[in-house]
Chains A and B, each alone.
Chain A
Amino acid sequence: MQSPTTSYPTRWKRPPLILTHPVWRRVIYLGALIYLVLAVQSIEIDWQRVWLGLDRGWKFVEGFLVPDFVTRWRDISEGLMESLTMTVTSTVAGILISVPIGIGAARNLAPAPVYLACRSIITLSRSFQEVIIAILLVAMFGFGPFAGFLTLAFATIGFLSKLLAEDIEECDHSQLEAIRATGASWWQVVNYAVQPQVMPRLVGLSLYRLDINFRESAVIGIVGAGGIGATLNTAIDRYEYDSAGAILIIIIAIVLVVEYSSSWIRRWVQ
């Protein structure tokens, strides 16, 4: 017999979604708060400098709204040309190198020593920022777009081979077996069983990398590897904010065009 007066709670409190343990939750919250206070204190803000800079910031906003494409058009077009050519050549070179490395880094196609060698190349290429690689390559190959080309090609290898290798490892094994059962050699298995399965994704990834390489080409110019980044750096150094605004607008426009056209091509390929 249950008494009818058993009290049920009348209010419902939503349980926490993550960090369900109450003690750990408090400890982590407290730790985060202490860290936040310490971190904010480490920033020294010179309000006077900020106040002075607001004026300059406003000038930059004005430059962005009323960009000046004409005065420095020769420098801008030169930088743009370097960036675009660098992007295309480095993407093509990167793809050509990363396809064999990607195949070598796939566990189901390559023997263990090759697999380890290819995986270590990928790790090496992925662990450093493009800008750091650019610094080293500029020191070795001199200023200019050639160092930028090498940087972007090197960064492309890490990105493309890793994703390609993962894609090959995930592909449908029954097709590999079927082709192997016909007595096909290793090359023929790669050509007839793997390539048709990974091709659409490889095209998609290459286009995505083209997009990334253009964005990066705008950055590595700052450390001397040529391209539109160098032009932008110069424009800001000269306080020509209207030219800088024009360059930024061009970068955003090209990124948009590349992004939309690549998503269009990807839909068409797949």
Chain B
Amino acid sequence: MTDTSTPVWHYRTPKQTLLRWLGWFSLVALTVLCWQLMTENTIWAFVSDAPDQAADIGERMFPPAWGYIGELWEPLWDTINIATLGTLIGVAIAVPVAFLAASNTTPSTRFVRPLALLVIVASRSINSLIWALLLVAIIGPGLLAGVIAIGLRSIGFVAKLLYEAIEEIDTTQVEAVRATGASGAQVIDYAIVPQILPAFWGISVFRWDINIRESTILGLVGAGGLGIQLSASLATLAWNQVAMIFVVILVTVIASEWVSARVRQAVI
């Protein structure tokens, strides 16, 4: 009976092992439960004939209606304008919000900072398509609703990344400028802005890239751009036109990604 006297090494204590198993078990149980609830109303007949549907749609999509491109230049121009102007509006509002939200530049941590953080969260949690849905109902369909929707959504994104950049700056530079007798505005201008400027351009161009993607679909709810043509083609089941629009969207997205990557490389 020498066995019992030599303790066997285990990676975890029995309690830890049990807890881990319980954790995994509840995760699996939750997933199965969610699956049950989700598929309660699913009509499986539609799901099982999906391959046929896919083949049918694929057949109708090919070849794409190349001639349709003539009608797409103007919506494409609109889409780019929505993204660019929306980004400009978003950035213009996001900069002051970011300075109010950063703990080292905010005028008051108790009142102003939570308010600024609330603005950031509200803007971030609502997708631009939902903003567009609301704005189309309020100010009517058109480019303006799209521009404002993109702008509102961009505030949170830009402000969040920017205020994190402001909080991470080198404080010795701020102290050095302050030691020369600079006023508050001069400290921001000469000590903080030069430090965050590369981050600012990087964030803005990155958001512009995302906004190009998002503005291609805003038209689905009536806010202008390629999405309007897309919803029209979908409504008439003109799948070859839909395929053409997808091609245009893909090319635009790749081009904007290339531009933003180049600009970020040059700036940072």
Contact = CB atoms under 8 A, between A and B. Distances in A.
Contacts of B232: none
What's the dominant secondary structure at chain B's contact region? helix
A39 interface: yes
A129 B85 contact: no
Contact of A236 (B30, B84, B137, B144): B137
B139 A229 contact: no
A12 to B, nearest CB: 11
Contact of A131 (B30, B46, B217): B217
Contact of A142 (B46, B197, B249): B46
Interface residues of B, number: 59
A223 B140 contact: no
Interface stretch (A3-11, A84-92, A112-120, A182-190): A84-92
A97 interface: no
A235 B246 CA distance: 30
Interface string B82-113: 00110000000000000000000000000000
A179 interface: no
What's the dominant secondary structure at chain A's contact region? helix
B130 to A, nearest CB: 6
A232 B121 contact: no
Interface residues of A, number: 58
Contacts of B129: 131, 219, 222
Nearest to B253: A127
Contact of B50 (A53, A128, A140, A219): A140
Given A81-B37, A140-B54, A216 B121 contact: no
B47 A88 contact: no
Interface of B: 27, 30-31, 34-35, 37-39, 41-43, 46-47, 50, 53-54, 57, 77-78, 81, 84-85, 121-122, 124-127, 129-130, 133-134, 137-140, 142-144, 147, 190, 194, 197-198, 201, 213-214, 216-217, 220-221, 234, 246, 249-250, 253-254, 266-267
Interface of A: 14, 17-18, 35, 39-40, 42-46, 49-50, 53-54, 56-57, 60, 81-82, 84-86, 88-89, 92, 127-129, 131-132, 135-136, 139-142, 144-146, 149, 215-216, 218-219, 222-223, 229, 232-233, 236, 239, 244, 248, 251-252, 255-256
